[in-house]
Structure 1
Amino acid sequence: MAADSSSTCHERENIWGRVHSKLLRHAVPDSRFDYDFSSFVPDFRGSSSAIDRIVELACYKSANTILITSDNSLEQLRHRALRDEKRVLVGTHKLRRGFVLLDPKMISEDKHEKASWLDGMERPGIGRPVTLTQLEEKVDLCVTGVLAVSGQGDVIKRSPQYFEIQWGMLLDMNVLDRNTPVIAVAHSCQVVNEEGTGVERIRTDGQWNITPDYVVTPEKALKLQGVERPGVGIQFDTLDSELLVTIPSLQELKGIQMMEQIMKGANFAQETSKPSPSVPNVDEQLGISMVERIMKGYKV
């Protein structure tokens, strides 16, 4: 991700500091990370009421496949979606192991709850690890947890689970589009009012501003108007290089895009006489190597 300006970063941290102190009173600690919100989005007291509001939305009822992030606050939603016979796509923790597809037709009903757990979905016979090229289902709805969000849908403190990267990769793979509904789930103390808080001074990087259509809390489902999202997915030239090193799905996407560029440049569809192909440059060879590893089922 591209870095915010120093002034924007300062504003974000000031607002997050105020939210953090309130959230501590409502958050459920994680068994491994305790209250370290840099590692996870916590579940919170009353989250079941927020889930009840989501399942009443038309976009949930009509969805067949839902991207639900691995945030603790969404465990109940993953379980509910499986009970409602919806396929659930989940990015693993910080996308280190790519995506897992939970298909209720392939999981016995008595294992639906275990499948909703982060420690259960990757067990044998439950979830199916999938690469980007193996994704055949169109994603009809995205649901993510957030640490802090404004009433206008500007994400002030993002989930450590890289929802924006998940969205960008799936957009590039045509698994979803700009109009696919997005829901952000939060406790009411995580929703920041615009007036007098400094939110209006924050300038969000458009590439990573995946504005939700709804912000859902235990008390209400706030429908946002005039939502606009980026028309492009992952921009590798501005991406933090560490993310490319640590996220196999990004490596896969880069390899796919490089190979597409190579094939397009070679004009494979045209039968013309041309000189012998030149030796691939470094970037082209990287793309070829990545695709070769993908085709062999290589796992980073």
Structure 2
Amino acid sequence: MFIFSIADAVTKESIREEVWSNFIKNKIALYPGPYFRIPNFKGAEKAAEKLIELPEFKDIKSVEVNPDKPLEPSRRVVLENGKELYVPSPRIQGCLLKKLASDGVNSIRKIVTRWGIENVGIKVDVNDKFHIDMLVLGSVAVSKDGRRIGKGSGFADIEFAVLKEINAIDDSTIIVTVVHDTQVYDELPKELFKKYDVPVDYIVTPTTIIKVENKLPRPEGIYWDILTETRVKNIDVLQKMKEKHESEGRDTTLCATEETTVVRPKRYWFRRRPRRFSGKKPKAQNGDDPQAGGDDEGQNEKQVAERVRKPRRFSRRPRSQSEGQKSNPEAGDNNENIPPQGARNKKKKSKPIDYSLLVSNIGKSVRVRELKNALIEKGIKPNNITWRGWKGFCYLHYAKTAKKQVEEDKEPFAIDSVIEIIQELKLNPTAENNLNVKIMEPITRIETINITAV
């Protein structure tokens, strides 16, 4: 595990910048990039599988998992293990939470995505009765003593405060954060954290589970003196809670000063294409004043014109064969073997399919990569795979043997031996039944997936 220590005179924002930059530097980040969000990382699925290893996970019934992208595998693990799954409504708009469950139509992988949260999730509001046994949060940075830093929007803290007010969570609720190993710090400055910051009980990474021995105090509810009028106005749930507290005679005086928004520079996870030179005339500098007059004026205009870079123009005319085969006398006879430009850009034609096999009885949790690796180990790698693993079957396509292979005495895959090998495969060691194989009729057009790109 990579553990970092924090230098003096730092802020939460500087720690976030350090983590986000480290993700880019070490190539840990995955889509949609690390900056200004809970960063998605390589190994999120391994970390999600470690949730099952928590001693309290077996006995709990309901889990809330935040809607961040790196927690998508965690939401899938919760549903696959038969737990009730609650997901906060993004930016707390429309309702407080969404309850997700398998509907028999969409796969679990689709239900736990942002699309599933918006289209399949059942709205849960502050007036509904429910209890959350485990809360899974995303983090930008976290310390081994349980102090957590989010992306800076404050929605996770507000959600926790509202759930605390409606008794949906209590001191028995377990708080877990799922992060990459490089997001774990030995310690974070205590003075950076306020009474509304939510601490964690467990830190789960792709390689280990860290239990916080000395639990930190949790927020007791909504602190109205910290919230601003703009924040309450933009969140419907806070407006409902404010009206409820006012009817109960509680003090709901808001903070008089508005929040100061952090101005963050533009960060691009990917490499941006440079803008094409506009060809505008640069401003005159030093001796390039056009009002100077005399002989210097013509000389200055000439210097400015030389500095102006003309845009490059590319000819889109295809090169003829005669032009492509012209030899360079300085390069000798090597240019004679260079093919024409058009010949080098031609795409390779796909090989015609000799036979196709329908492989069924595939477990829905099996991935196409597992099947591909198993076929490679047995020496019967197909040319293409049409994957329908979520429905329990797939198609394997074997192409006709090329003339070069015949000359090299490479025998083609015999269909009987291929079927026999596949029937003996077990992609899942715990599977009771073997794979079923059936020969398909020749098909002239079929949608295939190039397995080299999987």
* Aligned positions, number: 243
Distance 1:111 1:254, change over 3 A: farther
Q: Percent identity?
A: 23
* 2:69 aligned with 1:67: no
Q: CA deviation at 1:90?
A: 1.0
Contact 1:148 1:155 in 2 (8 A): yes
Report matched runs for 1:212-227 at 5 Å.
212-227=200-215
Residue 228 (structure 1) aligned to one of 216, 234, 238: 216
Q: Alpha-carbon deviation of 1:251?
A: 1.3
Equivalent position amino acid for 2:29 in 1: A
Counterpart contact for 2:87–2:117, Cα < 8 Å: no
Aligned to 1:43, which of 40, 45, 48? 40
1:145 matched residue in structure 2: 138
- 1:1-300 correspondence runs (5 A): 10-24=10-24, 25-30=27-32, 34-35=33-34, 37-38=35-36, 40-104=37-101, 107-108=103-104, 110-123=106-119, 126-134=120-128, 136-158=129-151, 160=153, 162-194=155-187, 199-200=188-189, 202-208=191-197, 210-230=198-218, 232-261=220-249
AA of the residue aligned to 2:70 = S
SS in 2 for 1:139: coil
Corresponding residue SS for 1:215? strand
Q: 1:145 to 1:249 in 2, by over 3 A?
A: same
- Alignment partners' CA distance in 1, 2:244 and 2:9: 33
Greater relative CO (CA pairs within 8 A, separation 6+)? 1
State the secondary structure of the residue aligned to 1:207: coil
Partner of 1:292: none
Cα shift at 1:161 = 6.7
Contact kept, 8 Å, 1:214 with 1:224, in 2: the verdict is yes
Rounded to whole Å, the distance in 2 between the matches of 1:165 and 1:117 is 23
- Which residue of structure 2 lines up, in the alignment, with residue 273 of structure 1? none
The amino acid of 2:210's aligned partner reads: L
- Return the offset for 1:9: 8.8
Q: Displacement, 1:103?
A: 4.5
Aligned to 1:290: none
Sort the Cα spacing of 1:174 and 1:9 in 2 relative to 1 into closer, same or farther, 3 A: farther
Query: Partner of 1:121: helix, strand, or coil?
Result: helix
Stretches of structure 1 that go unaligned for 5 or more consecutive residues are 1-7, 263-281, 284-300
Cα distance in 2 for partners of 1:201, 1:133 equals: 36
SS in 2 for 1:253: helix
Structure 1 residue 221 displacement after superposition = 0.7
Any unmatched runs of 5+ in structure 2? 1-7, 254-454
Q: What is the TM-score normalised by the length of structure 2?
A: 0.50
